[in-house]
Every structure is written in C-alpha cells, then in structure tokens.
Amino acid sequence: MSKSLRTDMPTVATWIDDLRSVFGAECINTAIKSGIAGQPTFYASENGIIVGTRAPLAPEKTISLTDVHIGPFNAPAAQHSSRVKGK
C-alpha cells in the first residue's frame, strides 16, 4: 500500500471526484470525514482497502436476488405471469 489512497483506490477516487463535482466538495468531504469517524455516511472498498463505516443492513429493506427479475423492461406481461402466480 502506498501513502496515497488516490493511488491505491483509483476507482473510488474517480467516483469521489464525480460526487464532488455534482454535490460540492464540502458536502462530500464532510460525509467522508464522518464515515471515517464512525458514522454510516461513507463507506468504500477497493483493492482490499476499506475506508469509512458501512451502514447497518435493515433486513426488512433488503431483497433476495431470487426475487429479482433481470431482463428487458419491455417484455410482454405473459412472460412475468408465472413469477406472480408462484408467490
């Protein structure tokens, strides 16, 4: 690991730069600092390096991938009818 997270986490660094350009550096920097301090406001992982605090998962707000239909949005309704009947 180098001394630069920007070097060690290039994808995260690019994503943060994009967030700063949209939401402003002050907003994003505050979220990152709070995440590092233990608040669930920022979490990133790349190349085995973790920065920030992961938000706790709320089981009632999660879904299983077995409940997800991945396919074209414009598929005929008949293709989906068997999934609805099975529930």
- What confidence tens digit (pLDDT) does each residue in 2-55 have? 788 899 999 999 999 999 999 999 999 999 999 999 999 999 999 999 999 988
The residue extents of the domains of the chain are: 1-55
Residue 53: closest CA among 66, 65, 44, 62: 44
Taking a C-beta distance cutoff of 8 angstroms, is the pair 42, 51 a contact?
yes
Q: Please check whether residue 66 is in contact with residue 83, taking contact to mean a CB–CB distance below 8 angstroms.
A: no
**Structure tokens belonging to residue 56:** 């706790």
The model's pTM is 0.62
pLDDT grade for 76, boundaries at 50, 70 and 90: low
**What's the pLDDT band for 71 if we cut at 50, 70, 90?**
confident
Which residues on adjacent β-strands are paired with residue 43?
52
